[in-house]
Chains A and B, each alone.
Chain A
């Protein structure tokens, strides 16, 4: 079943058309890649899907519910998580605390209850801490739990963002250039991690420039150029698609 549906989406910034009647779907259980030359509109598309911008036209549906233009926290509450091209980890908080924030949707304490620190709140806090520690362990950052998040090297900060998003137990996670700035071995373990995420039941949409990663792990690839979809299909087909090659050569 289609988990995420992008229908006739359009977004303009002044005279520039960033997204031009884009249509595609992400099926549950897939790893789908979104590629295209720089400026093709991939991050803008992400921002429109998650509600940071409202589109000028078109529909975004997640789990059959219309979320077009809804504020980000609404899409998140339905199970849509994302990471950012420019890392947005929470500075001034530890690595563990960053992941604990990921548990926000899975906890209930309201301000008055938290202020009184009722026994139920205390129990919930303990559960949040323990679950967050488990997610941290799964992405291999357990030994950095107490460190300030901003002290981590870039590759680990990217991992932290992924772990934080995973902690919210999403149905679909949208990764935005997770391999950027990573070394060869790091990219290989990233591929392993992404496959593991899919195997645990989370669908993945992936914006990525590293073609080896894309070809290696994706089930399907969507190609954007100048805001328009120019190709969609399995990785092998896309690799040989003339339009795709032309778009990248023109870059």
Chain B
């Protein structure tokens, strides 16, 4: 099973490596860069939602923590971007840990509400702590990333940087899914009681995977900061949190591939919804409802089912179940 993923990943890597050579239009390149950045968040979120079965309605806040931390450390303290991103990631993980310990005892709706609440608190901090974050007016002049003598100031170079990180993040996620940790997460999602009696420390694993998912979001935030070089709190509010959840569910939350699919397909949604600005969350809600009702496995689940049905035409007995 994991071998299928390696093959897929290799294929994806080759495709991504080659794309910028054929696309000279910076607009399309920047779209792909954003899709990469959002994929990084959705990969982490799918580990939390699909495998561990938890929910976060405040993940945009962790994306923001990574972005602002990177921005502040590089502009105010003149720390180099890469170490700053690592510090930002650890900081975000710590905040997530402190939130997770009291919160992950809660069930279902209460957990959702708590993550919603914390997301809002962090969003308010971005707006209110003007001395640190520049408040609603935002702050800019975030430096470009410098690595091994290369300055990542063009979309062409940034594309390779972002997608290298995404592919590594993807690989790590696949490894987690296909390990005893991944099985423990799926087990505790299916029956927390039974998982406990098999020696799985359910609280610890829920906290661990929550922290990991926020660290993914933080790295994405750092990459975002050094790409757009200007941050304002608007990008890190509840609309984006809900869009992230919609991407994961639409793409297929039981699949790490689904995370990338969801980001790629729904990324442009805010663009199309520009005319209906105030209705964006409503549209996300409708998409979520439709997917959950008719396509619970999301796009990835649907494609997986199609692939199996097609292969049934060629093979006489049902193939081994494909997992991702």
Which residue of chain B has its CB nearest to the CB of A105? Answer: B199
Name the distance in Å between A171's Cβ and chain B's nearest Cβ. 13
CA of A165 to CA of B196, assembled, Å: 11
With most chain B CB atoms within 10 A of its CB, the pick from A111, A116, A117 is: A111
Name the distance in Å between A57's Cβ and chain B's nearest Cβ. 23
Contact between chains at B191 and A88 (CB < 8 Å): yes
CA of A125 to CA of B201, assembled, Å: 19
Binds B, one of A92-100, A183-191, A202-210, A240-248: A92-100
How many chain A residues touch the partner (CB < 8 A)?
45
Contact between chains at B197 and A93 (CB < 8 Å): no
Contact between chains at B184 and A76 (CB < 8 Å): no
Contact between chains at A72 and B196 (CB < 8 Å): yes
Contact between chains at A90 and B186 (CB < 8 Å): yes
Confirm or deny: B13 has a beta carbon within 8 angstroms of a beta carbon on chain A: no
CA of A110 to CA of B204, assembled, Å: 12
CA of A122 to CA of B101, assembled, Å: 31
CA of A105 to CA of B183, assembled, Å: 13
Chain B binding site: helix, strand, loop or mixed by DSSP?
helix
Confirm or deny: A193 has a beta carbon within 8 angstroms of a beta carbon on chain B: no
Confirm or deny: B194 has a beta carbon within 8 angstroms of a beta carbon on chain A: yes
Interface string of A21-35 (1 = CB under 8 A from B): 000000000000000
Contact between chains at A101 and B175 (CB < 8 Å): no
CA of A117 to CA of B208, assembled, Å: 17
CA of A140 to CA of B196, assembled, Å: 25
Contact between chains at B183 and A109 (CB < 8 Å): no
Which residue of chain A has its CB nearest to the CB of B204? Answer: A73
Confirm or deny: A77 has a beta carbon within 8 angstroms of a beta carbon on chain B: yes
CA of A100 to CA of B323, assembled, Å: 15
8 Å CB interface, B181-227 against A: 181-184, 186-187, 189-191, 193-202, 208-209, 212
How large, as a class, is the contact surface on chain B? 20 to 34
Work out how many contacts link A and B, with CB atoms closer than 8 A: 112
Confirm or deny: A213 has a beta carbon within 8 angstroms of a beta carbon on chain B: no
Contact between chains at B196 and A101 (CB < 8 Å): no
Select one of B180, B186, B191, B196 contacting A114, CB under 8 A. B180
Contacts of A239 in B (CB 8 A): none
CA of A90 to CA of B198, assembled, Å: 12
Interface string of A144-162 (1 = CB under 8 A from B): 0011100000000000010
Confirm or deny: A17 has a beta carbon within 8 angstroms of a beta carbon on chain B: no
Contacts of A88 in B (CB 8 A): 190-191, 193-194
Confirm or deny: B113 has a beta carbon within 8 angstroms of a beta carbon on chain A: no
Contact between chains at B194 and A114 (CB < 8 Å): no
Contacts of A228 in B (CB 8 A): none
Contact between chains at B176 and A115 (CB < 8 Å): yes
21 contacts between A and B (CB under 8 A): A50-B196, A51-B196, A71-B196, A84-B193, A88-B190, A90-B191, A93-B183, A93-B187, A100-B180, A102-B198, A104-B180, A104-B183, A105-B198, A109-B181, A114-B180, A115-B172, A117-B175, A117-B179, A125-B179, A146-B321, A148-B321
- 13 more CB-based (< 8 A) A-B contacts, given A82-B197, A114-B182: A75-B197, A90-B191, A93-B187, A101-B187, A101-B195, A104-B200, A105-B198, A107-B180, A111-B209, A114-B180, A117-B175, A147-B321, A168-B199
Q: List the interface of chain A (C-beta within 8 A of B).
A: 50-52, 71-73, 75-77, 81-82, 84, 88-94, 97, 100-105, 107, 109-111, 114-117, 121, 124-125, 128, 146-148, 161, 164-165, 168
- 5 tightest CB-CB pairs across the interface, nearest first? A72-B196, A114-B179, A105-B199, A88-B194, A76-B199
